Amino acid sequence: MLILAITALTSWQAFNRPALIDQFILHPYRVKHENQWYRLISHAFIHANFTHLALNLFVLWQFGLVVQNYFMYTDAEPLIPLPGSYNFFMLYTGGILFAAIPAMIKHAENPSYRSLGASGAVSAVLICYILLFPTAKLLLFFVIPMPAFLAGALFFLYEHQMGKRGGTGIAHDAHLWGGIYGLLFTFASDKQVGHRFLQETMNYFNF
């Protein structure tokens, strides 16, 4: 997947180059007042440290390839017909942009606020995967097995609560909005996804 390679290479280059981080990072004040709109995308290709990068790349590799193949090789019925090869690109880039909305709303007049990382886009991919495969087994904290639909519910609950609490140094609102975009995009990309999700979830409980 090209996105994986570009993100890994750019982030690795930025780890020891503060000037590159400053050039790419999401800085809402400069976006608004200096028209540096490219930052709404570029911030997703740099990360704070290796752990931050590795986690996002792992989730993207684990779920992104499956989602990409689904869009390319299945007969989904989208609300807005688009070539399958464009769907994953729109899911990922849309997740980046949608996840940046909270920062732009809250911090456009705050010169000191900055954020970086692909977590919003990765959240969109993860939620898309959960909607498409609701009973797949996921490992919470890489240890606790649970069905994907339960992991998705916990994701939204956790990010909402942590976003309200604040003070963590993590943009939980970006994760939340990225997940919401993934939800909306998946429903728009496949008219049957809601029915399948409900049916598979009910079958899981033997209803």
Each residue of 87-112: pLDDT tens digit?
888 999 999 999 999 999 999 999 99
Q: Between residues 61 and 190, which one has the greater pLDDT?
A: 61
Spans of all domains in the chain: 55-204
Predicted confidence at residue 206, as pLDDT, reads: 78
pLDDT band at 79 (very low <50, low <70, confident <90, very high): low
Q: What average pLDDT score do residues 169-179 get?
A: 88
Predicted confidence at residue 148, as pLDDT, reads: 93
Each residue of 106-165: pLDDT tens digit?
999 999 999 999 999 999 999 999 999 999 998 776 678 899 999 999 999 999 888 787
Q: Among candidates 61, 173, 188, 154, which has minimal Cα distance to 106?
A: 173
Q: What average pLDDT score do residues 42-51 get?
A: 93
Judge whether residue 14 has pLDDT over 80: yes
The pTM of the full predicted model, rounded to 2 decimals, is: 0.91
Lowest mean pLDDT, pick from 21-25, 136-140, 164-168:
164-168
Q: How far apart are CA 82 and CA 38, in angstroms?
A: 25
Predicted confidence at residue 192, as pLDDT, reads: 85
Predicted confidence at residue 81, as pLDDT, reads: 56
Predicted confidence at residue 98, as pLDDT, reads: 95
Q: Between residues 177 and 167, which one has the greater pLDDT?
A: 177
Judge whether residue 82 has pLDDT over 60: no
Predicted confidence at residue 149, as pLDDT, reads: 93
Q: What average pLDDT score do residues 160-185 get?
A: 86
Q: What average pLDDT score do residues 65-75 get?
A: 83
Q: Between residues 120 and 170, which one has the greater pLDDT?
A: 120
Average pLDDT in the chain: 89
